[in-house]
């Protein structure tokens, strides 16, 4: 009986021991699983809240997050903080703060010594240019809210700016009718440009620098020319060469009564001169267009750009500033691109006329329409109908006279139609991968005049590029200089 009781006690003790071991093992495994799950969500938060500036991860100095685990349980998560801010040297002003995922309520403060140089949103910072070189301390606050977690971070980074101004022409060999793009990098304002003809480029300033258009009209003399740039007491001479274009010769017959009422009428000429001068002096910093320009109507090109025209047997030719498109009266006329209408009305010389500002002083002009479908100061979209083809003003039949002008100087419309003009971002790129996931893109021409659009173009190009058999689907961070673009793929 005693042996039986002893055996029972022993078995009972063994069962208790096994239960304790099993329970301990269970809780240990369960704890490890929970810790693993917590570490995984912590790594996810660190990846999704990552902030980059100029290729450098911006240190987190404060953070607080709440995460949802798979079982619905919520846990507090704190990322590893860095007490010391990183320091980045910048040779330009184009560095941007880019988050790995969507951040909310982002605010940025920049301190220069004891002064606050900037305080605003992420969108505001895209336009911020430091007033002087030196070290700036940036503090960034951002909140996050996703299905997996929510919380906030405060980041800090020191940026040491040491910039060198540079001016250049995107293309220095041009043909009459072209547009030259003059670009300045690392400049803050007060740029003076002198040309050897009566025109001063209108400059648009951005975070990347400044850009201006120089119209090379068909009347410009072929040969060597230069643009002289003065900035902070330094003079830069930019040489360019003009090649003569090829122009047709045309014999035109027009009714003397039409001529007398228009081009031979001094009051009519004064009216047109006043309107065209107002348009010539119109410059808009906004660049409305993002695509090549449309030919406003389809039809036969009855007069080409720069044609030498002899009217009614005159011994001296006039020059045609645009193109004439012959088509049926009443044909709808489309806006060549997005912009703002600076004039819409009837002019004795040009008939029903519309002038659209597309940005940086680039205007499209539409003449001789039978009716108008727009008003002055109206914002217009690419392809919107602005009127109908007619024969009003100085015209010998239904057609649309169309031209592009910058500062009153007409330029060849065809490069703007086909996208070959210098004003478009036509960078030829070469992509080279690195082990860090950064892609270096060498570009012959990266225009700073439309920084965001340049990057969008390169991003689209990357999406079409195959790298080790895989398609690059996105890129979120970029630094653009004249010859280099750096893109860091998001995690």
**Residues 6 or more apart whose Cβ sits within 8 Å of residue 190:** 231, 232
Last-in-domain residue among 218, 243, 268 = 243
What are the structure tokens assigned to 314, written together? 């005159």
Residue 5 within a domain: no
At 477 the pLDDT is 37
276 and 402 inside one domain: yes
Q: What is the DSSP letter of 330?
A: T
322 with 414, same domain? yes
Q: Extract the runs of DSSP E, i.e. beta strands, from 407-456.
A: 409-411, 429-433, 438-443
Inside any domain, residue 41 = no
Identify whether 2 is part of a domain: no
The reported pLDDT for the residue numbered 135 is 94
Report the pLDDT value the prediction gives residue 472, as an integer from 0 to 100.
Answer: 39
pLDDT of residue 3: 55
Question: What DSSP letter does each residue of 343-400 carry, written as one string?
Answer: EEEEETTTEEEEEEE-STTEEEEEEEESEE---TT-EE-TT-EEEE-B--SS-SSSEE
291 and 328 in a single domain? The answer is yes
pLDDT of amino acid 422: 85
Cα 80 from Cα 82, distance rounded (Å): 7
Question: What residues make up the domain containing 133?
Answer: 46-161
Asked if residue 110 is part of any domain, the answer here is yes
Radius of gyration for the chain, computed over Cα atoms and rounded to the nearest angstrom: 33
Assigned domain for 219 exists: yes
Which of 363, 393, 418 finishes a domain?
418
**Can you give the pLDDT at residue 378?**
96
Assess whether 270 and 363 both reside in one domain. Answer: yes
Quick one: tokens of 138?
């940036």
Cross-strand bridge partners of residue 75: 67
Looking at the structure, do residues 140 and 274 belong to the same domain, yes or no? Answer: no
Same domain, 235 and 277: no
Question: Does 152 lie in the same domain as 75?
Answer: yes
Residue 209 and residue 311 in one domain: no
| CATH (domain of 235) | 2.60.40.10
Number of independent structural domains in the chain: 4
pLDDT at site 126: 79
144 and 180 in one domain?
no
Helix, coil or strand: residue 414: helix
The whole-number pLDDT of residue 473 equals 40
Domain stop point among 192, 213, 243: 243
Buried b or exposed e, range 318-343, using 16+ CB within 10 angstroms: eebbbbbbebeeebebbbbbbbbbbb
Shared-domain flag, residues 282 and 405 = yes
Cα dihedral sign for 59, 64, 68, 74? Answer: positive
Tokens 């910039």 — which residue? 163
The low-confidence residues of the chain, meaning pLDDT below 70, are 1-36, 83, 425-491
Examine residue 26 and state whether it is found in any structural domain, yes or no.
no
- pLDDT tens, residue by residue, 339-366: 999 999 999 999 999 999 999 999 999 9
Looking up residue 386, the CATH number of its domain turns out to be: 2.70.70.10
State residue 286's pLDDT score.
84
Check whether residue 402 and residue 284 sit in a common domain: yes
302 and 409 belong to one structural domain: yes
Tell me whether residue 14 is in a domain: no
CA-CA distances (angstroms) from residue 367 to 20, 174, 233, 491?
A: 95, 28, 45, 54
The secondary structure of residue 291, as a DSSP letter, is: S
Contact between residue 188 and residue 229 where contact means Cβ atoms under 8 Å apart:
no
Q: For residue 38, tell me if it sits in a domain.
A: no
Identify the pLDDT of residue 469.
38
Among candidates 454, 422, 426, 444, which has minimal Cα distance to 96?
454
Residue 152 backbone phi and psi in degrees, to 5:
-150, 160
- For 63: left if phi > 0, alpha if psi spans -120 to 50, otherwise beta; the answer is beta
Helix (H, G, I), strand (E, B) or coil at 147: coil
Dist. CA 337–CA 287, nearest whole Å: 11
Contacts of residue 148, defined as CB under 8 A and 6 or more positions apart, other chains included, come to 41, 44, 45, 67, 68
């Amino acid at each position: 009986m005693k042996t039986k009781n002893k055996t029972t006690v022993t078995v009972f003790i063994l069962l208790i021991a096994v239960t304790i071991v099993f329970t301990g093992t269970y809780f240990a495994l369960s704890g490890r699983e929970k810790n693993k799950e917590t570490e995984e969500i912590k790594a996810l938060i660190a990846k999704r809240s990552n902030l980059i500036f100029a290729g450098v991860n911006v240190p987190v100095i404060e953070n607080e997050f709440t995460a949802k685990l798979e079982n619905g349980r919520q846990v507090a998560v704190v990322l590893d903080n860095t007490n010391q801010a990183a320091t980045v040297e910048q040779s330009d002003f184009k560095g941007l703060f880019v988050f790995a995922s969507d951040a909310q309520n982002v605010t940025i403060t920049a301190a220069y010594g004891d002064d606050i140089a900037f305080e605003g949103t992420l969108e505001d910072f895209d336009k911020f240019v430091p007033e002087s070189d030196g070290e700036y301390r940036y503090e960034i606050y951002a909140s996050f809210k996703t299905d997996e977690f929510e919380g906030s971070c405060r980041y800090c980074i020191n940026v040491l700016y040491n910039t060198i101004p540079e001016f250049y022409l995107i293309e220095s060999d041009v043909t009459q009718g072209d547009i030259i793009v003059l670009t300045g990098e690392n400049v803050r304002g007060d740029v003076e440009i002198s040309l050897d003809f009566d025109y001063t480029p209108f400059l648009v300033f951005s975070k990347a620098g400044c850009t201006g258009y120089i119209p090379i009209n068909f009347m410009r003399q072929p040969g060597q020319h230069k643009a002289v740039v003065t900035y902070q007491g330094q003079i830069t001479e930019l040489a360019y060469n003009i090649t003569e274009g090829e122009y047709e010769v045309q014999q035109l017959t027009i009714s003397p009564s039409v001529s007398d009422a228009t081009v031979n009428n001094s009051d009519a000429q004064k009216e047109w001169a006043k309107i065209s001068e107002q348009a010539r002096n119109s410059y808009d910093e906004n660049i409305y267009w993002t695509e090549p320009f449309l030919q406003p109507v389809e039809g036969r090109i009855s007069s080409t750009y720069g044609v030498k025209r002899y009217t009614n047997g005159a011994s001296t030719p006039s020059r045609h500033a645009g193109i004439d498109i012959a088509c049926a009266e009443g044909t709808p006329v489309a806006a060549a691109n997005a912009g703002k209408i600076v004039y819409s009305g009837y002019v004795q010389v040009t008939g029903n006329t519309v002038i659209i500002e597309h940005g940086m002083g680039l205007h499209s002009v539409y003449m001789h329409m039978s009716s108008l479908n727009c008003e002055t100061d109206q914002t217009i979209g690419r392809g919107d109908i602005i009127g109908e083809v007619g024969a009003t003003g100085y015209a010998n039949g239904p057609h649309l006279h169309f031209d592009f002008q910058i500062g009153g100087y007409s330029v060849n419309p065809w490069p703007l139609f086909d996208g070959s003009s210098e004003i478009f971002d036509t960078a030829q790129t070469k992509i080279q991968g690195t082990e860090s996931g950064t892609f270096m893109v060498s570009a012959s021409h990266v225009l700073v005049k439309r920084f965001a659009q340049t990057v969008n173009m390169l991003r689209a190009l990357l999406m079409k590029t195959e790298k080790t058999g895989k398609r690059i689907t996105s890129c979120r961070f970029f630094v653009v200089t004249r010859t280099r673009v750096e893109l860091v793929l998001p995690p």
